[in-house]
């Protein structure tokens, strides 16, 4: 993802922010525990960035419109007022995809670790809808085979989910370019 | 035959390996070796509630290791990534020591051996710890469901209980009465031995059957016990 220049003003929950940052600016890490970029939807020009403050671990969200370059900052409580839980799931899933791509560009091995670190922490019962969105979002996204395999391996506990089955079929089609039918059986065995 | 440790991963291209070696007079211990995403070392269940990752290969002269055969690289990478995820949360691990493996639990993203399927098992051994990690990445190393109960395991089991009695009395380990009793109830369960988990690396088509482990396992054991 291209670097997006952002500026935002002081907020009680985020000190020292009266300056410009880019998403990839490492100085962000000095003030924030982690930074997540959320794209709303494929056809939406807005993205949101979740900032987790290092000391308080509170979240604040910066919404940013790519088309108008306008932005707004709100705390988690305010943010929760205008998005539904389903939308939050989508944000979380999309953030996962974006972060995955970013990490993958730096190190494919670290991207695989990120998959397990992240997906396995999602609660299977409470976050069931999120998994469904994950598989929906992942369909038609092209990665290399290591990423496909790790995503399937990290979602083994959802084998009965029909959307996972769709994703499995999609991956199988993609991997046919790399493996013979016999090899594919070995690669996908157990997934 | 397997590589000997030389103080580092002998084959720099391997990302996952299994090692087995002497941990007592006749006892064997198994470990998982990792060389992935900047993590290089050995991951193992040392004992009750004691999961260890060390980037130093301990007592290398007493161990042999080898890399799994027949598992595609993509699957090995997923396995290695899962291991790293477990290693990163190793301080939060709390894996009890128990014998019978039922495939009831998985390692979640916090590296925790956690309830997963209906029912439960009491814990893991050093050998089933490796099985559980492979299982968590969708890889069945052995046909553990078909493992038989063997009468000569009772000798090992009696020694284990004697050791635990001593360890509890001398406070080498903290084990609740409830877990101790659960462990004692496993006297006649099937046991998967460290050398059998190791022998699975030679299986071209996983999971390995008992008949293969039964053939390779004793050879591995005698080889290790013969190491200086």
Q: What is the pLDDT of residues B62-76, one digit of tens each?
A: 888 888 888 889 999
* pTM score over 0.90: no
> How many pairs of residues across A and B have Cβ atoms under 8 Å apart?
76
Please determine, for residue A9, whether its predicted confidence score (pLDDT) is greater than 90: no
Nearest CA among B63, B76, B203, B30 for reference residue A112 = B76
Rounded Cα distance, A121 and B110, in Å: 7
Tens of pLDDT, residue by residue over A159-177, are 888 888 988 999 999 899 8
Q: Is B70 on the interface with A (CB under 8 A)?
A: yes
Specify the higher pLDDT residue, A151 or A12.
Answer: A151
Least Cα separation, residue B133 to chain A (angstroms): 12
B148 Cα distance to chain centroid: 18
Please check whether residue A153 touches B, CB under 8 A: yes
Angle (CA) B133 B138 B141, round 5°: 65
Radius of gyration of chain B (CA): 16
What are the pLDDT digits (tens) for B130-179?
999 998 898 989 999 999 999 888 888 999 999 999 989 998 888 999 89
Q: Which of A100, A106, A116, A124 to mutate to test the interface with B (most CBs of B within 10 A)?
A: A116
Are B61 and B68 contacting, i.e. CB atoms less than 8 angstroms apart? no
Instruction: Say if the Cβ atoms of A156 and B85 lie within 8 Å.
Output: no
List, in sequence order, the alpha helices (H) in chain B.
73-88, 126-136, 153-169, 177-184, 194-199, 210-225
Q: What integer pLDDT is reported at residue A81 of this predicted model?
A: 39
Between residues B56 and A113, the one the model is more confident about = A113
- Is the CB of A17 inside 8 Å of chain B's CB atoms? no
Chain centroid to CA A60: 17
A47 φ/ψ angles, rounded to the nearest 5 degrees: -130, 160
pLDDT, residue A11, reads: 33
At B212, list the tokens. Answer: 């293969």
Q: What is the ipTM score, two decimals?
A: 0.81
């Amino acid at each position: 993802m291209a670097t997006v220049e952002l500026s935002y003003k002081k907020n009680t929950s985020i000190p020292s922010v009266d300056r410009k940052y880019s998403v990839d600016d490492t100085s962000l890490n000095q003030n924030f525990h982690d930074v997540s970029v959320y794209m709303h939807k494929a056809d939406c020009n807005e993205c949101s960035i979740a900032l987790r403050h290092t000391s308080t671990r509170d979240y604040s969200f910066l919404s940013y419109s790519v088309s108008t370059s306008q932005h707004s900052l709100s705390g988690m409580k305010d943010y929760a007022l205008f998005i539904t839980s389903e939308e939050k799931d989508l944000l979380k899933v999309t953030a996962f995809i974006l972060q995955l791509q970013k990490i993958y560009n730096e190190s494919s091995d670290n991207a695989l670790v990120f998959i397990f670190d992240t997906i396995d922490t999602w609660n299977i019962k409470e976050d069931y809808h999120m998994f469904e969105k994950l598989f929906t979002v992942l369909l038609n996204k092209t990665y290399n085979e290591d990423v496909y395999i790790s995503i399937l391996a990290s979602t083994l506990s959802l084998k009965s989910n029909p959307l996972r089955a769709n994703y499995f079929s999609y991956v199988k089609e993609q991997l046919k370019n790399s493996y013979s039918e016999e090899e594919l059986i070995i690669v996908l065995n157990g997934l | 035959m397997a590589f000997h440790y030389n103080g580092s991963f002998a084959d720099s291209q391997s990302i996952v390996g299994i090692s087995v070696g002497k941990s007592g007079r006749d006892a064997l211990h198994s470990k998982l070796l990792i060389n992935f995403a900047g993590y290089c070392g050995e991951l193992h269940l040392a004992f009750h509630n004691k999961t260890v990752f060390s980037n130093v290969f301990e007592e290398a002269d007493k161990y042999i290791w080898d890399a799994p055969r027949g598992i595609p690289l993509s699957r090995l990478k997923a396995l290695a990534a899962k291991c790293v995820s477990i290693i990163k949360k190793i301080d939060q691990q709390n894996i009890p020591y128990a014998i019978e493996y039922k495939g009831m639990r998985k390692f979640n993203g916090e590296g925790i051996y956690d309830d997963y399927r209906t029912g439960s098992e009491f814990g893991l051994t050093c050998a089933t710890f490796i099985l559980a990690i492979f299982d968590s990445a969708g890889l069945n190393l052995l046909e553990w469901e078909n493992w038989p109960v063997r009468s000569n395991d009772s000798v090992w089991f009696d020694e284990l209980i004697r050791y635990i009695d001593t360890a509890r009395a001398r406070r080498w380990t903290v084990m609740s009465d409830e877990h101790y009793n659960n462990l004692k109830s496993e006297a006649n369960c099937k046991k998967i031995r460290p050398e059998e988990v190791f022998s699975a690396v030679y299986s071209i088509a996983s999971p390995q059957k008992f008949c293969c482990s039964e053939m390779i396992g004793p050879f591995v054991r005698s080889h290790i016990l013969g190491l200086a």
